[in-house]
Chains A and B, each alone.
Chain A
Amino acid sequence: SQQGEEDPQALSIQEGENATMNCSYKTSINNLQWYRQNSGRGLVHLILIRSNEREKHSGRLRVTLDTSKKSSSLLITASRAADTASYFCATDGDDYKLSFGAGTTVTVRA
């Protein structure tokens, strides 16, 4: 079963705009990660946020985590065509596997 649920399922934005997607999960976690997947390819790790952190930045990415609401958000600022991909949150409650949501598909229009 997949623990995380991303919202929205799909997002279309203009180049230069910001993209925000949300993830909700059900059980307690140690860490939450975000991954990107380009069409037909494997996943690429973007950022990890620990359960005792509230916000984290990496380049144009900003991740927030609210453990009381069991939710996280990923913000991509100043989007580029190369950001077109599917984005997945993955919760890390056990130490051996990740539980992924169904993902948000982001399309950046030139």
Chain B
Amino acid sequence: DTGVSQNPRHKITKRGQNVTFRCDPISEHNRLYWYRQTLGQGPEFLTYFQNEAQLEKSRLLSDRFSAERPKGSFSTLEIQRTEQGDSAMYLCASSLVLGQGTGKVENIQYFGAGTRLSVL
């Protein structure tokens, strides 16, 4: 178990360019989450997958944001036509969640080190 891995660690891009980040979760985890974190704030939920299914994406910040997890393993987060306001830390987390229904789920998440995006 090598933990959650994110690449690249840092990305500098020019406004208007597309960027893609990759997340490799802990191998036995079935859930994968993407968060955005700006300076002085806590992580803000963006989207999540259970295996390969994207079960919640309404929190993606705009239609320029998209995420995939094609085989239920690694995931990518793409931002198209980047804007300066997209500059932030993008965090990925994974968890193993068994069972359904409220009150029965302990969703302990394991985070990667993040990808810091700077849009010039």
- Which of A2, A33, A96 has the most chain B CB atoms closer than 10 A to its own CB? A96
User: Which residues of chain B are within 8 angstroms of A33 by Cβ–Cβ distance?
Assistant: 108
Contact assessment for B105 and A30 in the assembled complex, using a CB-CB cutoff below 8 Å: yes
Query: Distance (Å) between the CB of A5 and the closest chain B CB?
Result: 10
- Select from chain A the residue with minimum beta-carbon distance to B50: A96
Bound: A51/B100 CA distance, A: 17
Given contacts A96-B48, A102-B40, contact A41 B108 (CB under 8 A): no
Q: What number of A-B contacts does a CB cutoff of 8 Å give?
A: 76
Q: Which residue of B lies closest to A6 (CB)?
A: B42
Q: Known A45-B110, A48-B108; judge A95-B44 contact (CB<8 A).
A: no
Do the beta carbons of B91 and A97 come within 8 Å of each other? Answer: no
Determine the distance from Cα of A95 to Cα of B101 in the docked complex, in whole angstroms: 7
B103 touches A41 (CB 8 A): no
A100 within 8 Å of B by Cβ? Answer: yes
- Among B40, B44, B107, the residue within 8 A (CB) of A96 is B107
Query: 3 nearest interchain CB pairs?
Result: A100-B42, A42-B111, A95-B105
Interface residue total, chain B, C-beta cutoff 8 A? 32
19 more CB-based (< 8 A) A-B contacts, given A40-B116, A43-B93, A45-B110: A2-B41, A2-B42, A2-B44, A30-B103, A35-B111, A41-B114, A42-B4, A42-B112, A45-B108, A50-B106, A92-B106, A94-B102, A96-B50, A96-B107, A97-B33, A97-B48, A97-B107, A98-B43, A100-B42
1/0 contact string of A77-110 vs chain B (CB within 8 Å): 0000000000010101111111111110000000
A88 with B42, Cβ < 8 A, contacts A95-B97, A96-B55 known: yes
Return the chain B residue nearest A33 by Cβ.
Answer: B108
